[in-house]
């Protein structure tokens, strides 16, 4: 069994590969750090989108069984555009606050 002290030590120690990455980022000029942050945001967003697709695909059989009508590509495109517009609107409103 692992001691509570050992567990606490393990929780607060950054693995060496992550620590090396952190040190490399810290050595960059501010402008390049901003670029790294943008890239990390991009990668995280991509992961969120893939998770959303997986969730959608997981419920697709249930939608079919329930008799939900299939959407055309145009309907899907319109839904995506509407959601993006709503997010932009919320984001713009939050920026003004």
Convert the pLDDT of each residue in 59-82 to its tens digit: 989 988 999 888 889 998 999 999
Residues 80, 57, single domain; the answer is no
Q: Output the CA–CA distances (angstroms, integers) from residue 57 to 50, 53, 54, 82, in the order listed.
A: 11, 6, 5, 21
Is 2 within the bounds of a domain?
Answer: no
Residues 40, 76, single domain; the answer is no
Phi first, then psi, for residue 27 (nearest 5°) are -80, -10
Number of domains in the chain: 2
CA distance 40 to 12: 22
No. of helices (H) and no. of strands (E), the chain:
4, 0
Residues 55, 82, single domain; the answer is no
Which of 4-13, 41-50, 86-95 tops mean pLDDT? 41-50
Is 7 within the bounds of a domain?
Answer: no
User: Does residue 32 contact residue 40 with C-beta atoms inside 8 Å?
Assistant: no
Convert the pLDDT of each residue in 33-64 to its tens digit: 999 999 999 999 999 989 988 998 899 899 88
């Amino acid at each position: 069994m692992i001691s509570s002290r050992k567990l606490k030590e393990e929780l607060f120690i950054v693995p060496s590969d992550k620590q090396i990455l952190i040190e490399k980022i810290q050595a960059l000029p501010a402008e390049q750090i901003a670029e790294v942050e943008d890239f990390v945001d991009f990668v995280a967003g991509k992961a969120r989108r893939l998770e959303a697709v997986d969730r959608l695909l997981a419920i697709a059989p249930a939608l079919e069984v329930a008799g939900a009508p299939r959407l055309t590509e145009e309907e899907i495109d319109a839904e995506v555009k509407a959601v993006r517009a709503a997010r932009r609107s919320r984001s713009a409103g939050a920026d003004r606050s």
